[in-house]
Amino acid sequence: MFGLNKKKTENKLSLKLESKLLQDQFNKKILQQQKDSNLKGYRKGKAPKDVIEQYYGDQITAQIIYEEMANTFYKKISEEKISVVGQPALNPLSMDIKKDIKFDAIFEVYPEFSLKKFSAIKYKKPIATLKDSDLDKSILEMQKRFGNLEKVEEAVTDGLYTKVDFEGYLNDELFEGGAAKDYLIEIGSNNMIPGFEEGLIGLNVNEEKELKLSFPDDYHAEDLKGKEVKFKVKINEVLQTTLPELNKDFFTKIGIDVETEEEFKIDLKGKLEKDLEVSLKRKVKERIFDSLEKLNPIEIPSAMVIAESENLRKAAVQQMGMDVSKIKDKEFPLENFTENATKRVRLGVILNKIIEDNDLKSDAEVVKSLIDERSSGFKDPEQYRNWIYGNEEQLKNIESLALEEQVTELLISQSKSEDENLSFEEVMTMS
């Protein structure tokens, strides 16, 4: 944890253990060990003291030294009100309890810093509105999801679907996860890597083709990022979607309780506008927090970063449906999560500082608004609200979010923004 370059969050205390205290502790533990002893050649509890010291002396000496170092260290930091993060490294300069023992305690502390002025924060504020074309596209996507796929005697074109067999090769070797049979692809969906879908256009059933492509530089698999590969592809079927009619049966199937197409469009438009509002608000918060974190590049204790890296790694493993207890370091190296963990911890420390400096408390109205917003997505909103208010842990989570909202409003009121005009689709697909 402590390298050659000393961190600002790293501290050192030089402390001392008194010989008399250590020897008293040693004698007490030797006597206790003598009572409990069952050494070969002696009756239980009757082994001579010098024999007990010969067998257990070094072990007991080490034990009392480390116990007293810990006691002395934590008493000292309590008296001086030092905010320690993680476990200290305690290094005795000798192990001879017949003399006073000096020791060094190396430890990390919670960072102390002053915030930069909020007026120095600059961010791009996304602006977007829902257009009729966006509504129409959303309806079409819903119809496609619930439509029926039917084979057609056509070549692959944009907007159609195709089932393919493919094999992917890196340096002429089949790479893991690079092969599939009867894989369904919507041409134009951009769900495959760049060039894959476009490379199938014009092919007919049973035709084969070799595609030479490159994985994106930001691809999730480390061993494939930016790599040139080739895919051997065979077209099995070409299909198109038969769209369902916009009627009562369709509305019921997608969970919208309306009778007519007009009512459906009004209801869906309201939902999409709400989704857009939430997405714009979330993006503003992300951007302003990102600018805040970069403006205050405080050094973060290693212990905090390691703990958060572990949390992120566990979350990633769980998201993939794997058993956390069986993960191997080489499969999910902790250092892969360090950068993101550092940013998250730094932002958390900065937000806590803003809350403390401005004496912010979670506003009951903001809490209520957040709970109402979340409850609107449930069949029985009142039941959800009652559950939140009756669950202390969940309520605290909402109160923490409310504080974040209050911090966000404070930052917005004092920072500088530049409008960025975006389409509905661009906002909704933002990472």
Q: What angle do CA 130, 365, 280 make, to 5 degrees?
A: 20
DSSP assignment string, 231-257: EEEEEEEEEEEEPPPSSHHHHHHTT--
Burial string for 363-383 (b: 16+ CB within 10 Å, else e) reads eeebbeebbeeebeeeeeeee
pLDDT for the residue numbered 395: 92
pLDDT for the residue numbered 7: 62
Sites in the chain below the pLDDT cut of 50: 1-6
Q: Return the bridge partners of 10, or none.
A: 108
CB-based contacts of 328, cutoff 8 Å, min separation 6: none
pLDDT for the residue numbered 5: 42
Return the SS3 of 216.
coil
Structural domains of the chain, ranges and CATH numbers in brackets: 10-109 (3.30.70.1050), 148-242 (3.10.50.40), 261-428 (1.10.3120.10)
pLDDT for the residue numbered 3: 34
The pTM for the full model equals 0.74
pLDDT for the residue numbered 4: 34
pLDDT for the residue numbered 317: 84
